[in-house]
Every structure is written in structure tokens, then in C-alpha cells.
Chains A and B, each alone.
Chain A
Amino acid sequence: SQQGEEDPQALSIQEGENATMNCSYKTSINNLQWYRQNSGRGLVHLILIRSNEREKHSGRLRVTLDTSKKSSSLLITASRAADTASYFCATGGNKLVFGAGTILRVKS
């Protein structure tokens, strides 16, 4: 079974708006990673947050982690059409287990 489950399954927003995606997982973790996949391409690593971190930033990305609730969120601020992609959370160290992903569509 999948370790991480993203919510929502799909999200459609206007360019310039913020997009928030959530991930819930089942077991204890050392770190949680977020990846992006553009249509027809491989996954691209976005950010890794360790279990002792609560928040991490990278450019327009903000990731939070709540280990007590076994959940994480990915916020993309000031979205652009180029952010249109599927976003996955993954846990498990080297044996990563990916969630089903959130499909984000940013309309220009």
C-alpha cells in the first residue's frame, strides 16, 4: 500500500494564486520528499524535509511537516502556468514509496 497519500487529487487555479497540496503518511519517517512530474517526463526532486524540521523554504515553495499528525503540506506561492504538473510526496529513505499525486493545473 502507498505510504503517502496526497490531497486533493486535482487542483485547478489561476496564475498568481497560491496552491496548497497535502500529504499524509502512515508510519514514522526520517524524512519526507516532494517531487514534481511534468507530463511525459521523469520526476524532479523539489525539496526534502527531515523529521526534526517543521518548515522549509525553497524559492516559491514552502513545505511544512507535522510528525504528530503524520502529514506534510507543499505550498506554491504566486503560481505560474509552468507549475502545471503532478506533485508527489515520498517517504521511506532509499526505498521511497510515492503517493498517488496531486495534479495541479495553473490557468493563465
Chain B
Amino acid sequence: DAGVIQSPRHEVTEMGQEVTLRCKPISGHDYLFWYRQTMMRGLELLIYFNNNVPIDDSGMPEDRFSAKMPNASFSTLKIQPSEPRDSAVYFCASSEGLNEQFFGPGTRLTVL
């Protein structure tokens, strides 16, 4: 298996622009997670899905953030409009049940 795939790996955008991050989980995994990592706040869980259904989005910082999982093999995290404080590394992870999570390589987002 190729592991969790994220795209793009790097994204540089200007404040106010829409940003879409993409994730393909490992086939057969029924949980998908979106995390954000910054030096100041560490690794934070934003939202997670079970069988394509959002279960807990309490970590989503504000309404500018939204996430979807239209099918078992694809998820997106969208920021609209983006702000400089959104600059971070965003990770997607997937798991099979209540077991270890497999992380993707991350998307490094820079908002100017």
C-alpha cells in the first residue's frame, strides 16, 4: 500500500485566497483525521470522520475551515478565506478502528 497520500506537499498563497488540501487514506481504513501542527500549539486534531461521516469537528478553529469526505478514498480540508495565522503543516491520518493511526507526509501551508 502507498500509505496516506496528501497533496499538495507545499502550498504558498496570499491572504484571502481559498486553499484546498487533499487526502487519500489507506484503503480499508474507516477513520480519517485532519491535524494541524505549529510550533506554538503543537499537534492539534481538527476533525475526524468515521465511515465518511464527520464525528467530531470541535477542533476546527472557525467557520473559515471546512472538511468533507465524499467517499472512502478521498477527503478535503478547505480554508476560505485564508489568513497568515493559518500557516502550519496539515496532516491527514487514517486508521482501522481504534488502532494506530497512519499519517501522511503533510502539507506545508504558507499564507502571506
Known A-B contacts A94-B95, A94-B98; the reply to A42 vs B103 at CB < 8 A is: yes
On chain A, the number of residues with a Cβ less than 8 Å from chain B's Cβ atoms is: 20
Contact B91 A43 (CB under 8 A): yes
Bound Cα distance A107, B50 (Å): 42
* Size bracket, chain B contacts: 20 to 34
Which of A44, A45, A101 lies at the interface centre, i.e. has the most chain B CB atoms within 10 A of its CB?
Answer: A45
Question: Which residues on A sit within 8 Å (CB–CB) of B100?
Answer: 33, 45, 48
Contact B42 A2 (CB under 8 A): yes
* Per-residue interface assignment for chain A, residues 91 to 108, with 1 indicating a CB less than 8 Å from any chain B CB and 0 otherwise: 001111111110000000
Contact B45 A42 (CB under 8 A): no
Give B residues with C-beta under 8 Å from A. 4, 31, 33, 42-43, 45, 48, 50, 55-56, 91, 93, 95, 98-106
